[in-house]
Amino acid sequence: MYALVWREPMLRVAERFGVSSTLMAQVCRSLDVPRPSRGHWAKLSHGKHSPQPPLPPIGPGVPLGWRRGEKLASRSPLPKPPVRRPRRIAQEGAGDGLHSVLVGAAEVFASGRLIEQDFLKPGKRQLADVVVSKGMLGAAFAVFNELLHGLEQAGYPVMLAPKDRTYWRSAVDERESPGKLVNRRHPALWSPSRPTLVFVGTVAIGLTLFELTETKEARRVGDQYLPLDQADKYRPRSGWPQWSWTIPQAFATGRLCLQVYSPYPGTHWIHRWVERKPGELRQWIARIIRDIAKAAPRIASLVEHSEREAEKRRREWELERQRIEEREQIRRREKARAEATQQLLGIIERWGEVQRIQAFFEQAERQAGLREADEKARLLERLGQARALIGDADALGALAEWKAPDER
């Protein structure tokens, strides 16, 4: 493609592929192929110099080729951390009001339905990534608001995930001690449709604030499970019934956890700040902001590595697809050759049969010519009937209809 676009105008290159010059330019951008600037060919026709930039090496995510009819892959630039520390943004009255990401969210959360352990499950999903029980809603929004304002003041914008590329949200395991088993929680906790992101340079980092749960031995009282110390308040004077039993059950703790993560598919990086006692998270906000900024180069490196691995897999798949096509082409050639050979052998066999039949009639006619007139006439009449029954065996006609392997 690089050689083509620098040998002749884009319009002629496009005609080769049967597409428009606009689409051909898009193909060049997709393949990272430099193309002549406006006026390049006019300069050359007047003997003027027009620079030709070299073809750059294939970078991560750059496709190796394109076929007409294929959808052009959209490539997002690799995220980059800031070269220098961003300037702090002085905001008058910062932190007094709600951050734009949180505006109106508290009311939607408060009106949501309650699931087990009083966790809130709002009816909308395009909200800030906060997962807490009803009793912790105010405290969670206060600390999240302070964190988001702090990030903005440090020069790191916060927003719901934009649509410029695909971002994923890391799953939340609200258990204080997750253990080895996967948390198959039912009903599932609320999750947003778009992750909440902070941008350090062009590196996106996901933010989730959620409330921790701890496992306690519980007893069912009425329609709910209560920890044993609370259930004992409802103990009958005669004691618990014989059929009553206790089971481990998760309960909201009132303590928060901030989870930051890499939101880029194909990467895995998660860091958590877990409160040991309620309210600790607000004391750590300055350190959290510094740690988030330090994580940007690490995430950018993971994304680049992921892109290279994905490109490696894509090229391996492309080579495998080419090998499959080559094997299929060989199979088709061998099949065409076998079919052509089989048909030709049939024509040769038919040719031999025609020669044998013709030799029979010629010999019979000569023998009949030696007989008496009456017998000769009768024999020739019989031979005429026999010829009519056999019909014309045209071996050369069959050869004309034969298809060679290349024609197949």
Query: What is the model's pLDDT at position 311?
Result: 82
How far, in whole angstroms, is CA 356 from its chain's centroid? 68
**Angstrom distance (rounded) from CA 118 to CA 120:** 6
- Each residue's pLDDT tens digit, 28-84: 888 889 999 888 998 888 888 888 888 888 766 677 788 888 777 666 778 888 887
Q: What is the 3-state secondary structure (H, E, C) of the chain?
A: CHHHHHHCCHHHHHHHHCCCHHHHHHHHHHCCCCCCCCCHHHHHHCCCCCCCCCCCCCCCCCCCCCCCCCCCCCCCCCCCCCCCCCCCCCCCCCCCCCCCCCCCHHHHHHCCEECHHHEEECCCCCCCCEECEHHHHHHHHHHHHHHHHHHHHCCCCEEECCCCCCCCCCCCCCECCCCCCCCCCCCCCCCCCCCEEEEECCEEEEEEEEEEEEEEEEEEECCEEEEHHHHHHHCCCCCCCCCCCEEEEEEEEEEEEEEEECCCCCCCCEEEEECCCCCHHHHCHHHHHHHHHHHHHHHHHHHHHHHHHHHHHHHHHHHHHHHHHHHHHHHHHHHHHHHHHHHHHHHHHHHHHHHHHHHHHHHHHHHHHCCCHHHHHHHHHHHHHHHHHHCCCCHHHHHHHCCCHHHC
Structure tokens at 320: 């495998």
270: helix, strand or coil = strand
296: helix, strand or coil = helix
Per DSSP, which regions of 26-140 are E strands?
113-114, 120-121, 130-131
Query: What is the model's pLDDT at position 75?
Result: 65
Per DSSP, which regions of 161-243 are E strands?
196-200, 203-221, 224-227
Query: What is the model's pLDDT at position 74?
Result: 63
**Angstrom distance (rounded) from CA 264 to CA 267:** 6
**Angstrom distance (rounded) from CA 234 to CA 245:** 14
- Identify the segments of the chain with pLDDT beneath 70: 59-61, 73-75, 88-96, 179-182, 392-395
Closest CA to 67 of 3, 128, 2, 19: 19
328: helix, strand or coil = helix
Q: What is the dihedral of CA 384, 389, 390, 396, to 10 degrees?
A: 90
CB contact at 8 A, 101 and 209:
no
- Each residue's pLDDT tens digit, 149-197: 999 999 999 999 988 788 999 999 998 877 666 677 777 899 999 999 9
**Angstrom distance (rounded) from CA 95 to CA 213:** 29
Query: What is the model's pLDDT at position 94?
Result: 47
